């Protein structure tokens, strides 16, 4: 069992998200993270789904997803061959100048930004992969995290390969949609 990333192109319609998430709950798979956003084509959204499972399970999910009418393409992303990023907004308790200075130092080391300051709290913006976000959260925890919002991981395959490229596996996943 390891973590897998699926990138899914879907029609940008109401109801698609519930169809996709229902599939996971019906099959008993857990979504660790789900990020959705519109692509360069406004009629198409891209979902990035992180799930834990074995290879067979992930293929099963990918093929089940491919059967859904609004799903355009499904790509399994190999962690070694893809770039993954997540955006975090972290509101940290900072009631004294010393604390604020300390937090600012940490933020600088992680190349994060402070995007809001008040007398008793700072809001930090950080982009990174799981390792980096995990590390800063562990450090900031000591100061007291008041609130945390994260976008969920997004990912793209390295190199020129895209989700639009066809391969044999995708052809098989989509075969049932060939209606003629």
Partner 1 sequence: MLMKSTQVLFECLLEQGVDTVFGYPGGTILNVYDQLDGGRYGKKIRHILTAHEQGASHAADGYARATGKVGVCFATSGPGATNLTTGIATAYMDSSPVVFLTVNVTEELIGRDAFQEVDITGVTMPITKCNYLVRDASQLADVIREAFAIAAGGRPGPVLIDILKNVTSQTVDYTPLPKEEHVKSGRLAELAARRPSSGLKRRKPDEQDISILADMIADAKKPLILAGGGIIRSKAAEAFTEFAERIDAPVAVTLMGEGAIPDRHPLCTGMIGMHGTYVSNMATTECDLLIAVGARFSDRVTGSLKHFAEQAKVAQIDIDRSEVDKNVVTDHHIIGDAAQVLEALLDKLPQYDHKEWLGRMESQKDAPPKRESDALDPREIFACVYEQLGDDVIIATDVGQHQMWSAQYYPYSRPGQLITSGGFGTMGFGLGAAIGAKIGNPDTVVIHTTGDGCLRMNGNEFATEAYYHAPVITILFNNGALGMVRQWQTLIYEKRYVATNLDRGPDFVKYAEAFGIPGFRVTNREEFAAALKKAVGGNQGALIECIIDSDEMVRPMVAGGAPIDQFLLR
* Binding-site ranges for partner 1 (CB under 8 A): 15, 18-19, 22, 26, 56, 59-60, 63-64, 66-69, 72-73, 166, 168, 171-180
CA separation for the pair 63, 174 (Å, rounded): 8
Of 64 and 123, nearer to partner 1 (C-beta) is 64
Residue 121 CB, shortest distance to partner 1, in Å, is: 39
Of 20 and 94, nearer to partner 1 (C-beta) is 20
Residue 170 CB, shortest distance to partner 1, in Å, is: 10
Helices (H), 43-156: 55-67, 97-109, 130-141
How far from the centroid of its chain's Cα atoms is residue 52's Cα? 13
**Is there a contact between 126 and 86 (Cβ–Cβ < 8 Å)?**
no
Place of tokens 């098989």: 172
Residue 168 CB, shortest distance to partner 1, in Å, is: 7
**Is there a contact between 87 and 78 (Cβ–Cβ < 8 Å)?**
no
Of 67 and 132, nearer to partner 1 (C-beta) is 67
Strand partners, 52: 3
Of 74 and 106, nearer to partner 1 (C-beta) is 74
Residue 29 CB, shortest distance to partner 1, in Å, is: 13
Question: CA dist 113 to 34, 86, 134, 166, Å?
Answer: 24, 14, 16, 39
């Amino acid at each position: 069992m390891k973590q897998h990333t699926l990138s899914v192109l879907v029609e940008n319609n109401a109801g698609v998200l519930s169809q996709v998430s229902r599939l996971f709950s019906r099959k008993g798979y857990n979504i660790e993270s789900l990020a959705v956003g519109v692509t360069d084509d406004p009629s198409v959204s891209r979902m990035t789904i992180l799930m834990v499972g074995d290879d067979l399970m992930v293929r099963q999910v990918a093929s089940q997803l491919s059967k859904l009418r609004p799903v355009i393409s499904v790509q399994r992303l190999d962690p070694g061959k893809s770039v993954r990023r997540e955006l975090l907004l972290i509101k940290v308790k900072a009631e004294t100048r010393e604390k604020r200075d300390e937090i600012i130092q940490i933020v600088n080391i992680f190349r994060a930004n402070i995007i809001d300051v008040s007398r008793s709290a700072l809001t930090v913006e950080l982009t990174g992969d799981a390792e980096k976000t995990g590390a800063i959260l562990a450090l900031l925890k000591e100061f007291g995290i008041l609130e945390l919002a994260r976008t969920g991981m997004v990912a793209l395959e390295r190199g020129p390969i895209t989700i639009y490229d066809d391969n044999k596996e995708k052809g098989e996943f989509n075969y049932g949609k060939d209606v003629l």
